[in-house]
Amino acid sequence: MARAGKRGTGPRGEHNRDEFLALVTKAAENLVRQEGLRGLGMRRLASTIGYAPNSIYNAVGDLDAVMMRVNARTLARLHAALESAVLPDATPHDRALALADAYLGFVAADPQVWSLVFEHQIAPDSPFPDWYAEALGQTTDLVARVLAPMIPDPDERRQAVAALWAALHGLASLATSRKLLVLTPESPRDLARLLVRRFLEGPDRGRPEIESA
Amino acid sequence: MARAGKRGTGPRGEHNRDEFLALVTKAAENLVRQEGLRGLGMRRLASTIGYAPNSIYNAVGDLDAVMMRVNARTLARLHAALESAVLPDATPHDRALALADAYLGFVAADPQVWSLVFEHQIAPDSPFPDWYAEALGQTTDLVARVLAPMIPDPDERRQAVAALWAALHGLASLATSRKLLVLTPESPRDLARLLVRRFLEGPDRGRPEIESA
DNA sequence: GCGCCCTTTGAACAACGTTCAAAACATATC
DNA sequence: GATATGTTTTGAACGTTGTTCAAAGGGCGC
């Protein structure tokens, strides 16, 4: 269907196919960034890039496909942000805290675009997008590597990664929807640090000046 | 505006105003339960109760108002479920685990309706619905009372309630969207127990037969 | 009976996602 | 250069949505 440049092909405008895909994805991302999920409409998206809606249908697909592309980009950006936050010469505990900090920092910097990853739920019959599981797996592998020195058992570590990941997700979700402020004035980063610290070290090690180990 | 029965008022059908509100709310809840947020439309809702859409606009308001009423009911049901799950003669630790279990059980029994509470985000300018903060506060107060024997400091306890609440929310959210199964095969209840146990007792008390208090 | 007020509704409006069929264009072949 | 081929682009249309307008319908006090 969408083979590039074999026979009588050729874009009329100034964009080839890949450029057009990037153009659509970035424009959609900006719409979501400014006005959230509700602000992303097919006609609006088409008009902001100066094309007719049908051009997007032909090159990308329907609105679901557009959101998928935005979400794929978001997960890749998140992975890069987390990767650059792990300093190799820090203690495992500090690296875990840095990871949580970087995650919540990413969400705080781009709440609407991040929310789209979770707000946009796919049809309940489709099994799962391959790229989504893969992108998620890359990121959770990163977390697992950071937690490995502290939780040697692989099964326990996998459960810990899932539990902490879900906890961070809940913190970020409630924070972006302003439902966390109803409960406590602390920042989600402080709460994440509390959560990670108590999960990894227990309730007793609150003040670190008792023992320095 | 909506004063009841002073002068020439009187419902034509077989429902007075409060009955009509309950009728609309329950019908909307059932639509969400069967087909999720996308299944709740004004015209469909009106047709399932045998009224014209305008009757709902006059009595309840627009679709946002309808969802608010469904969400208020959901939070009240959740509060009741949690309250009945706290056994008075259990240890504080067991009561905390029972609370987490009841929360995730409630979500698992009614995932679509529960999701509506978080999927439906209100306009970013409105401060916050009063009843929402109040309903949330009632429930978190319940959690705080259960945690009180284990975390005596009020500040620390408030942070712990918020963090654990967010963690449970994330677990439930990822579970209902089937994003948790990508990470681990364990049930969200098992992960919640792991999370709560490690948060309250630390990583060392994994096997309780070492010390018995 | 009349008049008031609330309830209920049919019709209409604007916007939406999506599809159809035709026009516009770039390239390959003659 | 002319023609055919296949892709890109689009104008117009369809069906549906949330919401509003103005009118119809009916209970209650006078």
CATH code of A70-201, in short, is 1.10.357.10
Label residue A212 by pLDDT band (50, 70, 90): very low
Tens of pLDDT along B58-89?
999 999 999 999 999 999 999 999 999 999 99
CATH code of B13-61, in short, is 1.10.10
CA of B43 to C1' of D15 (A): 14
* Closest chain A CA to residue B35: A124
Q: Does domain A1-61 sit in CATH 2.30.30? A: no
Nearest alpha-carbon partner for A164 in B203, B156, B81: B203
CB contact under 8 A, A166 and B162: no
* Closest chain B CA to residue A133: B182
Residues of chain A contacting B136 with CB distance shorter than 8 Å: 179, 182-183
CATH code of B70-205, in short, is 1.10.357.10
Distances (CA, A) of B110 to B36, B71, B165, B172: 11, 12, 18, 11
Residues of chain A contacting B179 with CB distance shorter than 8 Å: 118, 136
* Closest chain A CA to residue B182: A133
Parts of chain B belonging to CATH 1.10.10 = 13-61
CB contact under 8 A, A165 and B183: yes
pTM of the model: 0.89
Parts of chain A belonging to CATH 1.10.357.10 = 70-201
pLDDT value of residue A205: 61
CB contact under 8 A, A184 and B199: no
Q: Name the percent of chain A lying above pLDDT 90.
A: 77
Shortest alpha-carbon distance between residue A183 and chain B (Å): 6
Q: Provide mean pLDDT across the span B29-43.
A: 97
> For A181-185, B15-19, B52-56, B194-198, which range has the lowest pLDDT when averaged over its residues?
B15-19
pLDDT value of residue B2: 36
Mean pLDDT of chain A: 89
pLDDT value of residue B11: 55
Q: Provide mean pLDDT across the span A39-68.
A: 96
Q: Which of B36, B183, B186 sits opposite A140 (nearest CB)?
A: B183
Parts of chain A belonging to CATH 1.10.10 = 1-61
Q: Which of B138, B140, B199 would best serve as a mutation to test chain A binding (most A beta carbons within 10 A)?
A: B199
Residues of chain A contacting B182 with CB distance shorter than 8 Å: 128, 132-133, 136-137
What is the number of CB-based contacts under 8 A between chain A and chain B? 141
